Amino acid sequence: MSGEAVWPIITDADEARDTILKRRSLRDYAVPENVIERSLDLFGERLMPDEAVRRIIRSVRLTGDQALIEWNQKIDGTRTDSLLVTRAELEAALRDISPELRSALEFAAERIRAFHRKQPLSSWIDAGDSGSLGQLIRPVDSVGVYVPGGSAPLPSSLLMSVIPAQVAGVAEIIVCTPPGSGAGDIHPTILAAAAIAGVEKVVRVGGAQAIAAMAYGTESVPRVATIVGAGNLFVTLAKQQVYGDVGIDGILGPTETMVIADETADPQLAAADLLAQAEHDELASAILLTPSPDFAALVQAEIQRQLERLARRDIILSAIAKGCGTVITADLNQAFELANEFAAEHLCLLVEDPWSWIGKVRNAGGVFLGEHSYEVLGDYVAGPSHVMPTGGTARFASPLNLLNFVKITSLIGLDKGSAADLSAPAQRLAQAESLDAHAAAAQLRSRN
């Protein structure tokens, strides 16, 4: 590749805040004209995506499997004889993949399971002389897992979502993933991953219709308590619209990596890590923060060089044009300040003694410490779920973990004497809120 460098370098922090570090709400993204035009084919009129999703959800609520089959045909061009994948099909997919791929999937599954088994999660009861207080922690009854089926199959996403739910004790887990176009079918690596994870029910359906099916139930898809998994714009909008009728893991947008590096880092490795993130899709974000202009120039040159041999170069170039680049910071302290403002999904510390900087990190989905803890390992085999908060939601959200699959029930078991002691202040608070029936209930206990 020759000519002008494709990887931008920004030398002013305020300029960076107004450009590649500027967060936008999902509601603020401009909808491509071709997406709106597509609605004309599907609905007979031009619709914004949120309205299209609303209509899809309503059709699934009203007609169940019939709507799923029709949307498979209209949106994916798929003629589906059966929505449900059989156990024989799962086993066949597992037999058909290479032994090396099967071994890698099984290895990843073991590490994911081992990691999540270490998460503390237990009920507790504090029993005293006056009674008991505590919390019951119970798994939700059922979980729906959405696995994307776009330009690259993502069996790792199935493992990263299903296995934490299993460790949490969820009894029923349903996977929805889009069928292939035309007479095609689900990618065999996704089916093989489902077999390795022990998934009993896989459904050939994608998009907003899959989210609706799991939220409200159809003849083939049972209604679930919680839905997890990332997807395209229509999947994300559908999760927003069904939330409240069903739980969700979060609003998961395009993936993102932020790398903080100093002059001791290897520019070849930093470039490789940034490109690995940028190849996900055109909206992926890969950003380098460094106080070293010399290092920034070396990484820029490496990106130019490594791009030549990458098959998804066009996707990477689109991502770079939309929101990737390097920011030169005054020092590492400013780099961490910008990183906390951005609240990246992945924060990679390619600095000398990365552990000494952990105290500076407040907002990040996952922190990758040093060049040997590169983010691609987190995508596949490190252990923690790679389903992490995006779009700045790491300011308040967490990676997918066991708490996504359990609910907490408070226990209150007081004896008569304790109730009497607590009744007077309870009565006063109820009266302050003008809730006479509350006050009366407390007063009765006080008299008794």
Distance from C-alpha of 163 to C-alpha of 198, rounded to nearest angstrom: 9
Q: What angle do CA 390, 113, 366 make, to 5 degrees?
A: 25
Q: Which of 89, 256, 279, 345 is catalytic?
A: 345
All residues at 6 or more sequence positions from 426 whose CB lies less than 8 Å from its CB, including other chains: 438, 442
What would the two tokens of residue 221 be? 């898809």
Q: Which of 116, 346, 371, 386 is catalytic?
A: 346
How many angstroms from the chain centroid is the CA of residue 375?
15
As a three-state string, the secondary structure of 63-98 is HCHHHHHHHHHHHHCECCCCCECCHHHHHHHHHHCC
Partners of 144 in beta bridges:
174, 227
Q: Are 197 and 159 in contact (CB under 8 A)?
A: yes
Per DSSP (E only), the strands in 262-296 are: 285-290
Distance from C-alpha of 425 to C-alpha of 441, rounded to nearest angstrom: 12
Q: What is the DSSP letter of 178?
A: P
Q: What is the DSSP letter of 381?
A: T
As a three-state string, the secondary structure of 99-155 is HHHHHHHHHHHHHHHHHHHCCCCCCEEEEECCEEEEEEEEECCEEEEECCCCCCCCH
Look up 345 and say whether it is catalytic. Answer: yes
* For the chain, counts of helices (H) and of strands (E): 17, 14
- Annotated catalytic residues are 345-346
